[in-house]
Structure formats: structure tokens, C-alpha cells
């Protein structure tokens, strides 16, 4: 199950590379420089993926995988405590984009037409928390921090955020006032078995969800989280 989530996060590299608004590459480079073990683990995942593709050249069986998601809303100003409706709209966009069921699929550039595909992955807000209790799949944490940067503090209760749920069983998405000096509006971790409790996705609250709540143009189509256009 862990491999599923980490492979998924390859696709969750955030939108806006062209505008230098995605922090994934920067934080990955930093992690690799500071932790040689991460670079090794990341390379192993890439090798495993390539091996699987080589061994399954005619893979055609459609198996829909559903990923339970927990959205951690970490807020200081009231507007950062985004509504359930705004979160629901983001889950809808995730499903549309990963199943290639969105209205903009027709705009796929011709160079990608031959490989654009249904990823056979769906998302749902978790119905059960790590203790076995019923949940909405949404946590809300008021913080004294006016904003967060790409130092992963939002992923830590002791640093003003909230700890991840077990990422062997959940995709963790933190939504907060991300105000990094780089200008990034979100970042995600690339796959490896090394990452541990910081594995997941962080998105600025004003770039989360589609055309509702505090989502602010031009990042109000839910595509920061999916990496689609």
C-alpha cells in the first residue's frame, strides 16, 4: 500500500511550473542534498517502476484503485478555515483529472494524445480515522502561525501544524497559508520508502478547490493539486 501512495505522488507534482509556483522540485533537491539516503530510495522506486512497466507491456486489465484522503486544514485567519464545500470541489477535480473525465481533456496537446489516459485512480475523503472512528476525512487545526513555508512545519503538531495520519493508509493533504519566499503555491513529495511522516501534499488555501470559497484566480480550478491543465 505504501508503494501505491508514493507512486501516486509522482503525479501530484503541483501545477504552475512555468510560473515557478511549484515547490516540488526545489524541496526534492534540498532533500536529496541533505539526505543521501533519500536520493538512493528515490532511485530504487524509479527502478522498480521501470521494471514493472517492462514486465507488463500489454497490461490492459482495468482495476480502479480508490485512495482515502485526509485533508488537514491548518488556519490562522478565519478565511483560511475553508469550507467543506471547497474541499469537496477539490476531491471532484482530483477524480475528474485522474480518470481523464474532465471537460478540458479535449485540449490535450497533440504530442500527448497518444499517451493521455485514464489513470484508474479515484479519491474519496476517508470515512474512518486511524483509531477506527468515523470521520469526515477533514481535520481543522487553529494555529498561531500566520503562515508556513516549505520547511514542513505544517506537517508537525509541535511546530504549529498537525501530524500526518498513517501514510500507509491515507493520502495526507495539508491546506494552509503557504507563503514561501520562493512564491510556491504548493509542493509534494516524490516517491520513496524513506520519506516517512512528511509524505504528502501541501497547498495554499487560496489555490485549493474549484470556483468556490476562497479559491483565487487564476488558481481556482483545483489544478494546483492535480498538476493538470
pLDDT of residue 17: 38
In terms of C-beta distances under 8 Å and separation of at least 24 residues, what long-range contacts does 79-85 make, across chains too? 79/205, 79/214, 80/176, 80/177, 80/205, 80/214, 81/140, 81/142, 82/175, 82/205, 82/208, 82/209, 82/213, 82/214, 83/212, 83/213, 84/136, 84/138, 85/212, 85/213
Q: Is residue 162 part of a domain?
A: yes
Q: Is residue 181 part of a domain?
A: yes
pLDDT of residue 229: 45
Highest mean pLDDT out of 5-14, 52-61, 196-205:
196-205
When pLDDT is averaged across residues 96-114 and rounded to a whole number, the result is: 83
Q: Is residue 110 part of a domain?
A: no
Query: Residue 136 is part of which domain span?
Result: 2-54+67-103+116-226
- What is the share, in percent, of the chain residues with pLDDT greater than 90? 49
pLDDT of residue 1: 44
Q: Is residue 21 part of a domain?
A: yes
Count of domains in the chain?
Answer: 1
CATH number, domain of 219, equals 3.40.390.10
Q: Is residue 120 part of a domain?
A: yes
pLDDT tens-digit profile of 176-225? 999 988 888 999 887 665 667 888 999 999 999 999 999 999 999 998 98
Q: Is residue 60 part of a domain?
A: no
pLDDT of residue 50: 73
Q: Is residue 173 part of a domain?
A: yes
Model confidence at 5, pLDDT cuts 50, 70, 90, reads very low
Q: Is residue 59 part of a domain?
A: no
More reliable by pLDDT, 99 or 125: 125
pLDDT of residue 116: 80
Amino acid at each position: 500500500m505504501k508503494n501505491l501512495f508514493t507512486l501516486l505522488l509522482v503525479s501530484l507534482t503541483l501545477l504552475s511550473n512555468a510560473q515557478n509556483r511549484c515547490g516540488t522540485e526545489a524541496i526534492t533537491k534540498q532533500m536529496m542534498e541533505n539526505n543521501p539516503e533519500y536520493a538512493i530510495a528515490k532511485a530504487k522506486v524509479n527502478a522498480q517502476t521501470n521494471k514493472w512497466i517492462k514486465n507488463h507491456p500489454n497490461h490492459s486489465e482495468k482495476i480502479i484503485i480508490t485512495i482515502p484522503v485526509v485533508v488537514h486544514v491548518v488556519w490562522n485567519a478565519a478565511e483560511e478555515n475553508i469550507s467543506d464545500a471547497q474541499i469537496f470541489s477539490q476531491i471532484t477535480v482530483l477524480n475528474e483529472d485522474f480518470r481523464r473525465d474532465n471537460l478540458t481533456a479535449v485540449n490535450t496537446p497533440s504530442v500527448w494524445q497518444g499517451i493521455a489516459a485514464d489513470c484508474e485512480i479515484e479519491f474519496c475523503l476517508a470515512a474512518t480515522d486511524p483509531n477506527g472512528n468515523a470521520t469526515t476525512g477533514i481535520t481543522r487545526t487553529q494555529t498561531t502561525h500566520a503562515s508556513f513555508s516549505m520547511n514542513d512545519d505544517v506537517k508537525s503538531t509541535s511546530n504549529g501544524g498537525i501530524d500526518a495520519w498513517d501514510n500507509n493508509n491515507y493520502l495526507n493533504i495539508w491546506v494552509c497559508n503557504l507563503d514561501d519566499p520562493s512564491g510556491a503555491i504548493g509542493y509534494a513529495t516524490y516517491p520513496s520508502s524513506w520519506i516517512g511522516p512528511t509524505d504528502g501534499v501541501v497547498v495554499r488555501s487560496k489555490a485549493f478547490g474549484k470556483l468556490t470559497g476562497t479559491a483565487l484566480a487564476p488558481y481556482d480550478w483545483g489544478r494546483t493539486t492535480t498538476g493538470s491543465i
